[in-house]
Amino acid sequence: MSSVRVLVGTRKGAFILSSDGKRKDWQVSGPHFAGWEIYHMKGSPVDPNRIYVSQTSGWFGQLIQRSDDGGKTWQQPGLQPGEGMPAFPNKAPNRFLYDTSAETGAPLTTHQWYDGTQHPWEFKRVWHIEPSLVEANTVYAGVEDAALFRSTDGGESWQELSGLRGHGTGPNWQPGAGGMGLHTIILDPTNPDRIYIAISAAGAFRTDNGGKSWKPINKGLVSNFMPDPNAEVGHCVHHVAMHPSKPDTLFMQKHWDVMRTDDAGDNWREVSGNLPTDFGFVIDVHAHQPETIYVVPIKSDSEHFPIDGKLQVYRSRSGGNEWEALTKGLPQSNCYVDVLRDAMAVDRLDDCGIYFGTTGGHVFVSPNGGDTWEPIVNDLPAVLSVEVQTLP
């Protein structure tokens, strides 16, 4: 019988929630890396027992952890106690250095700061980890300040794909309220050279040559807080999702507006429809129904919690525009939590399971595509990210 393993990153550690395919009884493992911020953890599609973790701290900086046994044990890739290393090593699993070489055509520039001045690029943390679809040792990392890194040795060392940051619009990118993070990485399952990424607040970008060069894909996005609401870059994209069977169709939760594209990002159109508010962070797609999508409406960018204290997931079975509220099992009074951008995931069981975590420490599961919900846990630290692995 199939089972699921839910990987939960929180403000104070990582947790692993496991269940059989019924998704009724759960075992909770953790906290792993207690006291550290776990921005994201994700398993390799090639080797599900390989899990990559972004572990970070305002005091101690960035670490990368890896498990090769499904989360039972962890190591910083390539490092063992007692093995001497030079003070300035050639490689290290937590060394994310921006590419400054002229040879790659992407010398380090500056980006726009909150006050409109230019500001140097400074590495702060890894927001999102995306393991390769075909190779367990290859993994991508989206970082703050926004850039994309890749490792081809299981996380032992990282190299920037500097064509993204250096393609020309970088000086116009600016941090959102949470920082200038590259938070979304989507690998096209049908085209290994195509990758989508998204940055707050720069927008969405696509490469069609494996990361050498990139183009902004923001046509159709409208951000009224910008001097030019239709600008090529500067949009505060919160999250993007894709169904693997329709890789040219993307769904986006923007700062305001829910959007979709059917031409790989060349043109976007709004599909907020009858949502009570189209502000929010998460968006995801049903595992078997590529036109069934989910969002969690948040009241506004000034009040980051559900309307009237009622936590509601909204589902559209038509790829947007027509939405229905899903409330059964979710708190419908006095609930003032947020659901952050990487905190929703779907499993691939026959009856698709939907999962999301809140800043109040809940992780909810719906084992039936959103019809009903149950809490798996209620009192974790604030949840930063949720991923799920469907295991044979």
Phi-psi region of 287 (alpha: psi -120 to 50; beta: other; left: phi over 0): alpha
86 lies in the site for other proteins, by CB under 8 A: yes
392 lies in the site for other proteins, by CB under 8 A: no
- As a whole number of angstroms, the distance between CA 138 and CA 164 comes to 18
90 lies in the site for other proteins, by CB under 8 A: no
Among residues 67 and 184, whose Cβ is nearest to other proteins? Answer: 67
Residue 153 beta carbon to other proteins: minimum distance, rounded to whole angstroms: 15
Using CB under 8 A, which of the segments 95-103, 257-265, 304-312, 373-381 binds other proteins? 95-103
116 lies in the site for other proteins, by CB under 8 A: no
Among residues 83 and 228, whose Cβ is nearest to other proteins? Answer: 83
- As a whole number of angstroms, the distance between CA 189 and CA 102 comes to 32
DSSP string, 284-313: EE-SS-TT-EEEEE-S-SSS-S-GGG---E
Cα four-point dihedral sign 82, 83, 89, 92 = negative
Among residues 58 and 227, whose Cβ is nearest to other proteins? Answer: 58
Residue 60 beta carbon to other proteins: minimum distance, rounded to whole angstroms: 4
Residue 268 and residue 262 in contact, taking contact as beta carbons nearer than 8 Å: no
Residue 181 beta carbon to other proteins: minimum distance, rounded to whole angstroms: 19
59 lies in the site for other proteins, by CB under 8 A: yes
**CA neighbours closer than 13 Å in the CB half-sphere of residue 244:** 10
57 lies in the site for other proteins, by CB under 8 A: yes
227 lies in the site for other proteins, by CB under 8 A: no
Residue 14 beta carbon to other proteins: minimum distance, rounded to whole angstroms: 14
Residue type, 218: N
Gyration radius from the chain CA atoms: 20
3-state SS string for 146-168: CEEEEECCCCCCCEECCCCCCCC
Which position among 2, 35, 120, 219 is part of the footprint of other proteins (CB under 8 A)? 35
177 lies in the site for other proteins, by CB under 8 A: no
Residue 95 beta carbon to other proteins: minimum distance, rounded to whole angstroms: 4
Tokens of 115: 């006050």
CA 19 to chain centre: 23
Which position among 22, 24, 73, 85 is part of the footprint of other proteins (CB under 8 A)? 85
- As a whole number of angstroms, the distance between CA 102 and CA 352 comes to 48
- As a whole number of angstroms, the distance between CA 375 and CA 304 comes to 21
Using CB under 8 A, which of the segments 14-22, 79-87, 127-135, 198-206 binds other proteins? 79-87
Integer CA distances (angstroms), 61 to 111, 123, 182, 241, in order: 22, 10, 17, 29
Using CB under 8 A, which of the segments 83-91, 102-110, 169-177, 318-326 binds other proteins? 83-91
Can you give the binding site for other proteins, defined by CB under 8 A? 35-36, 57-63, 76, 79-89, 92, 94-97, 123
